Structure 1
Amino acid sequence: MNVVWPVAALFLGPVAIWAYNRGGMTDPARPNSGPSDHGEAAQTIAGGAPGGAAATVGHFIGVPLVVASGLTIAGTNLWVLIIVIAALAIGLLFVFEYVAVSGTPRRVGKRNVGVMLITATLTVLAFDIGMGGWMLLMHFGNFMPSPTDVRFFFLMQVGLVLGLVTAYPMVKALLRRRTATT
């Protein structure tokens, strides 16, 4: 989580500080402790931060790769962007789940790896309803600048926030399920 919150600040700005103070802080006496007990809403926001951070890093890696490759589907690179960013975000969120949440990667069973992969996939798909929906709206409304334009990254910040909003119910359900099974 030490990396997640600074990355979340890239698209949340000062709201990331509020979210960290509200639900993202861990107990300093226990370095691997989870979000502090500030209520379910704050813990859900903190639980969604890794997905937003994974999508942010996915953008920073995926957009230049897609633009440099020149790949398109149906004459536009939008579909390739959505697919590549989602795949990167799922991979990054899975790695986060595997390393950070499990605590001891060597002791993670095959079943838990599958659950972590499903969790990462469901979270990113829920996130992409907002993020991908925003990208589609901008593209088909002819508001989307080229990925090489700085305005593109501002619009993607808006999409990342929308992604957090649409992922909130999924993250909440997954956190409840995790709590119920532990």
Structure 2
Amino acid sequence: MPPDWLQTLAFYYCSLSILSALYVALDIFVLGRRQKMWIMEVVWPLTALYWGPLGLPFYWLIGRKPKDRKSMGEFAFGGATHCGAGCALGDFLGDWLVFAIGFTLFGSELLGKFLFAFVLAYLFGVAFQYFTIAPMRGLGLRQGIWAAIKVDTLSLIAYEVGMFAWMGFHAWIFPESDPTQWAYWFMMQIAMVLGFATTFPVNWWLIARGTKEKM
């Protein structure tokens, strides 16, 4: 089981993370700092939720900045937040589902989490990408979904590589940890940030070659 000090740290950091997400949502929807693309109004609060207060400076410096003033690195960061938000949402729901139904794959709960997390993250990721790329390119439903799949697949796989590596390490050092514990979600936040780190260069490359839209 995670030690008491980690549980305490996790409780406070997760609490600050929830407050950070609420702050970003308030800033967007109440204080009027609306995003040019509505999907980013979902992405930024989700990003603050798994980054926690460490993500707030990025929102202030990048999320609020007009598109015509952003650098290539900031566009890549925005693309990674877009991918990360869909993946994080899928991973969050996937872990709860696996825990709730007791699902295992080849007798392994961790592999079951990987499967559920990947499938749900892929579905959310493609949906997030569709609502970006379809209106920007004027695509219909079928063409928009196919374009979203082509754009998001590599980005999503890169994210899951970083995330699954930490999830495996977490399962090894704390095999009895489960989603009812604050420490579990604190460790998942670390996994999500590592996933962000592994998808960031991929998003840079996709945007630089014109495959993915600038956000």
Instruction: State the alpha-carbon separation in 2 of the partners of residues 19 and 36 from structure 1.
Output: 17
Q: 2:204: which partner in 1?
A: 172
Q: 1:132: which partner in 2?
A: 164
Does the C-alpha gap of structure 1 residues 144 and 117 become closer, same or farther in structure 2, counting only changes over 3 Å? Answer: farther
Structure 2 alignment gaps of length 5 or more: 1-39
Q: 1:39: which partner in 2?
A: 71
Instruction: State the alpha-carbon separation in 2 of the partners of residues 55 and 127 from structure 1.
Output: 8
State how 1:1-182 maps to structure 2 within 5 Å.
Answer: 1-25=40-64, 27=66, 35-103=67-135, 107-108=139-140, 110=142, 112-142=144-174, 145-178=177-210
Code of the residue aligned with 1:72 in structure 2: it is T
SS in 1 for 2:210: helix
Code of the residue aligned with 1:9 in structure 2: it is A
Instruction: State the alpha-carbon separation in 1 of the partners of residues 137 and 212 from structure 2.
Output: 22
Instruction: State the alpha-carbon separation in 2 of the partners of residues 116 and 19 from structure 1.
Output: 25
Q: What is the number of residues matched between the two proteins?
A: 175
Q: Is the 8 A contact 1:5 1:49 kept in 2?
A: yes
Code of the residue aligned with 1:20 in structure 2: it is Y
Code of the residue aligned with 1:47 in structure 2: it is G
Structure 1 stretch 139-148 or stretch 92-101: which is displaced more?
Answer: 139-148
Higher relative contact order (Cα pairs below 8 Å, separated by 6+ residues): 2
Structure 1 stretch 71-80 or stretch 160-169: which is displaced more?
Answer: 71-80
Does the C-alpha gap of structure 1 residues 127 and 40 become closer, same or farther in structure 2, counting only changes over 3 Å? Answer: same
Instruction: State the alpha-carbon separation in 1 of the partners of residues 212 and 45 from structure 2.
Output: 30
Q: Deviations for 1:112-140, whole angstroms, at most 9, x for unmatched residues?
A: 53231132221111001110000111223
**Structural RMSD (CA):** 2.6
Code of the residue aligned with 1:170 in structure 2: it is V
Structure 1 alignment gaps of length 5 or more: 28-34
